[in-house]
Amino acid sequence: MHRLYCEKYAYSVSISKFSQLFSTLNLKFKKPKIDTCHKCDLLQCKIQVAKPEELDSLQLEQSKHVNLAEKAYDAKQNDKQRALADATLKVLCFDLQQCLPTPLLRTSLSFYKRPLWTFNLTMHDCASNQASCYMWHEAIAKRGGNEIASCVFDYLLTLNTNAKHVVLYSDSCPGQNKNSFIATMFAIFMQFKNNVDIIDHKFLVPGHTHMECDSDHALIEKRKKLTSTKIHHPRDWYQFIRTIGVTKKFVVNEMAQSNIYDFAHASKNLFTWRKVDDSGEKYSLIDIKWLRYTKETGNVYFKKSLNEEEPFKLINISKRGINCVRMTDLKICYDAPIKIGTKKKQDLLDMLPIVDEVYKPFYINLATEEHLDCHPDLTESDETNE
């Protein structure tokens, strides 16, 4: 009995010392990730039930997938270290945050109602650790390739004159980051008068796409749960996020319809996206891991890996009769407010009794049309072959 008591006492003292140590060093255990890689999970399930003759091939496939993911993270880390030592190199990552519900209400009524979604595309400078949030709501614009391209385009236009080489990292979501709209935007930007000589757009492995901007989003979500600030209008989100940041406060840029360009139209009418590269080989955007843009008009270079030693292949996207593109050639994407669904409008009106009086006209005046409302986050997809 005495021995048992001593063991329990020693255990409690040990736990106490560890608690004090963790508190002193500001350490804590990280919660398990909930957004695990679909391919990793699928392969792990197959390995657990695999027959002996199938096991080796499945384990090899899993090992190759994990190695590719680690090499992509290593490439980003190497670029980040280079940017810290070279002021002419900018390393950025960008991603959309999960939709922010507006108004943000604590009452149980809001759980059953469709909110107005507010969007946040975060650009993170990996060297300076400055986060820039481009924000708008669903009555201003959607959240597809044109919107993402316009946010990144706006950011590039504000780069300081020191920037000669820009490297951007993103996930491989085809509807938002890996499409001809984004590629067209970069090709157009490189035709403008600026000091940037090279833009590299690199894609992380699907399922392994954690970036600095995701940490920014996690901080916003954490503060969102703790805040007592009233968020009854999209601009309340803008003001709230301006107060967030660890070493530097987040910069918030409010996107208007006049800032959102129709790069889909430009892709179709100002360039020709051929199905073969300059060597005559067919290519697919799905397989591309690295796109490079230079001052060479109409030339886009690509690789199917992030290997520095692998040679670039060339796609010429020049359209006959078009030698250069000007800002005046870009069309605005929207000429009227986006209409929301009638059922969503009714849900928003149902929540008005607990919304500040000054914001009620904003919701009452939202334009509507009869269509199916769905959660924008549920429409996202990644590379289909992964």
Q: Which of 2-16, 20-34, 93-107 has the lowest mean pLDDT?
A: 2-16
User: What's the pLDDT score for residue 143?
Assistant: 93
54 in a domain, yes or no? no
23 in a domain, yes or no? no
User: What's the pLDDT score for residue 96?
Assistant: 96
Name the nearest CA neighbour of 82 among 178, 161, 200, 188.
200
Name the nearest CA neighbour of 124 among 179, 85, 165, 80.
80
pLDDT digits (tens, 9 = 90+) for 100-122: 999 999 888 888 899 999 999 99
pLDDT digits (tens, 9 = 90+) for 161-182: 899 999 999 999 988 899 999 9
Q: What is the average per-residue pLDDT within 61-85?
A: 94
Dihedrals φ, ψ of 132, to 5°?
-120, 120
Is-above-0.85 flag for pTM?
Answer: yes
Query: Is the pLDDT score of 30 beyond 70?
Result: no
Confidence of residue 346 (pLDDT cuts 50, 70, 90): very high
Contact (Cβ atoms closer than 8 angstroms) between residue 204 and residue 171: yes
Confidence of residue 193 (pLDDT cuts 50, 70, 90): confident
Query: Is the pLDDT score of 18 beyond 90?
Result: no
How many Å apart are CA 244 and CA 20, to the nearest integer? 28
Q: What is the average per-residue pLDDT within 304-326?
A: 90
312 in a domain, yes or no? yes
User: What's the pLDDT score for residue 242?
Assistant: 97
Query: Is the pLDDT score of 323 beyond 70?
Result: yes
104 in a domain, yes or no? yes
User: What's the pLDDT score for residue 102?
Assistant: 95
Query: Is the pLDDT score of 382 beyond 70?
Result: no
Total domains in the chain come to 1
User: What's the pLDDT score for residue 187?
Assistant: 94
Query: Is the pLDDT score of 251 beyond 90?
Result: yes
Residue bearing tokens 């399930």: 45
Answer with the residue of higher pLDDT: 50 or 116. 116
User: What's the pLDDT score for residue 4?
Assistant: 44
DSSP 8-state code for residue 204? P
Range of the domain at 331: 86-379
Name the nearest CA neighbour of 230 among 132, 354, 112.
354
DSSP H helical ranges for the chain: 2-24, 38-48, 52-85, 145-157, 180-189, 212-226, 234-242, 263-269, 342-350, 360-364
Answer with the residue of higher pLDDT: 382 or 183. 183
30 in a domain, yes or no? no
User: What's the pLDDT score for residue 384?
Assistant: 45
46 in a domain, yes or no? no
pLDDT > 90 in the chain, percent: 68
User: What's the pLDDT score for residue 118?
Assistant: 97
Q: What is the average per-residue pLDDT within 288-293?
A: 96
User: What's the pLDDT score for residue 22?
Assistant: 64
Sign of dihedral through CA atoms 72, 304, 129, 216?
negative
User: What's the pLDDT score for residue 322?
Assistant: 81
User: What's the pLDDT score for residue 17?
Assistant: 61
pLDDT digits (tens, 9 = 90+) for 357-370: 999 999 999 999 87
320 in a domain, yes or no? yes
Instruction: Give the tokens for residue 44.
Output: 């792990």
75 in a domain, yes or no? no
